[in-house]
Chain A
Amino acid sequence: MSETGEPREIRNFGPELDFVKPDNDVLIVKLFGTWKIGSQVPGFNRLTKELEKDSLIRKIRFDSSGLGRWDSILITFLLKIANYCEQKQIELTTEGLPEGVINLCKLASSVPERTAIRTSQIKLSLTTRVGIHVARIWGSIAETITFVGEIAIAFFRFLTGRARFRWSDLLLIIQESGAQALPIVSLISLLVGLILAFVGSIQLKMFGAQIYIANLVAIAMVRAMGAIMTGIIMAGRTGASFAARIGSMQVNEEIDALKTAGLPPMEFLVLPRIIALAVMMPLLTLYANLMGILGGMIVGVGGFDIGIREYLNATKGSLTLTTVGIGLFSSFIFGILVATAGCLRGMQCSRSASAVGEATTSAVVTSIVSIIIATAIITIGCNILGI
Chain B
Amino acid sequence: MQQPAIQVRNLRKSFRKRNGFRKQSELWAIDDVSFSVAQGETYGLLGPNGSGKSSLIRVLSTLLIADSGYVEMLGFTLPEQADEVRRIIGRVSVDAAFYKKLSARENLLYTALLYGQNARQAERRVMEILEQLGMENAKFSTPLEEMSRGMQQKISIARALMINPPLLLLDEPTTGLDPKSRRDVQLFLEDLQRREGTTILLTTHDMAEAERLCARIGFLAHGKLVAEGTAAQLMQRAHTATLDDAFIKLTGEAIVEEELSADYAECAD
Q: Do A and B bind each other?
A: no
- Which B residues form the contact surface with A (CB < 8 A)? none
